[in-house]
Chain A
Amino acid sequence: GQNIDQPTEMTATEGAIVQINCTYQTSGFNGLFWYQQHAGEAPTFLSYNVLDGLEEKGRFSSFLSRSKGYSYLLLKELQMKDSASYLCAVRDGDYKLSFGAGTTVTVRA
């Protein structure tokens, strides 16, 4: 089976940077995803990593190290609207796609 771990909660100040870590153990690997989810809504796609390294997309960046089973999502220049749950998901060798429990980020003024 899969084991995906991420912190439960993080708090940061508006304008700051927050890094959300995700570690995983899977049988095979076919990509890692980051999603943002506001309460009561469907998740919104943020990033996808299948090769090692950093993917940058505006204020959001995601990093992957397959050998370490590790990824992080970096949120820069935090805004109040970034308060949400951030979900790490991994697709294994059988294309089973599982999610971590999510990290709730609270942005304070």
Chain B
Amino acid sequence: DGGITQSPKYLFRKEGQNVTLSCEQNLNHDAMYWYRQDPGQGLRLIYYSQIVNDFQKGDIAEGYSVSREKKESFPLTVTSAQKNPTAFYLCASIPGGHVGELFFGEGSRLTVL
């Protein structure tokens, strides 16, 4: 079945460590997005990519990095520079052009100990 796979689902990290969250889609979608969600709050955009080898900063990019070397993959690295990284991270993708439905992965929950 087609969809978006995020891994790991749960991750624990010590302060000062970098961690990479995986996002893979087999929907042949052009655009991919990373969001962060804190308890009781909405989704905030970290980074997004419309095509391979190109990406743009969202509203809260500081302390994060991404790459888009392949159409199906958009990994997110949470660096030690991110001061409060404990959150629920959601990856999403959408076909190019004016078509609906943004597809979400199941999310990755990161906890910094």
Q: Which one of B50, B100, B105 lies within 8 Å of A95 (CB-CB)? A: B50
Interface of chain A: mostly helix, strand, loop or mixed: loop
| B91: nearest chain-A partner, CB-CB | A42
Q: How far is the CA of A33 from the CA of B15 in the complex (A)?
A: 36
Number of residues on chain A facing chain B (CB within 8 A): 24
Write the nearest CB–CB distance from B26 to chain A, whole angstroms. Answer: 17
Whether B110 sits at the interface, judged by CB under 8 Å, is no
How many A-B pairs with Cβ below 8 Å?
Answer: 59
Q: Which one of B35, B42, B59 lies within 8 Å of A102 (CB-CB)? A: B42
- Given the known A-B contacts A42-B107, A97-B94, A99-B35, are A87 and B42 also in contact in the complex, defined by CB atoms under 8 Å? yes
Q: How far is the CA of A102 from the CA of B43 in the complex (A)?
A: 8
Residues from 40 to 76 in B contacting A, C-beta threshold 8 Å: 41-45, 48, 50, 56, 58-59
Q: How far is the CA of A15 from the CA of B50 in the complex (A)?
A: 42
Whether B21 sits at the interface, judged by CB under 8 Å, is no
Write the nearest CB–CB distance from A95 to chain B, whole angstroms. Answer: 6
Number of residues on chain B facing chain A (CB within 8 A): 26
| B45: nearest chain-A partner, CB-CB | A98
Contact present for A31 and B42 (CB under 8 Å): no
Contact present for A94 and B56 (CB under 8 Å): yes
Fill in one digit per residue for A60-86: 1 if any B CB lies within 8 Å of its CB, else 0: 000000000000000000000000000
Contact present for B50 and A99 (CB under 8 Å): no
Whether B101 sits at the interface, judged by CB under 8 Å, is yes
Residue numbers of A with Cβ under 8 A of B are 1, 30-31, 33, 35, 40-43, 45, 47-48, 50, 87, 89, 94-102
* Residue contacts A-B, CB under 8 angstroms, 5 given: A31-B100, A95-B50, A96-B45, A97-B45, A101-B42
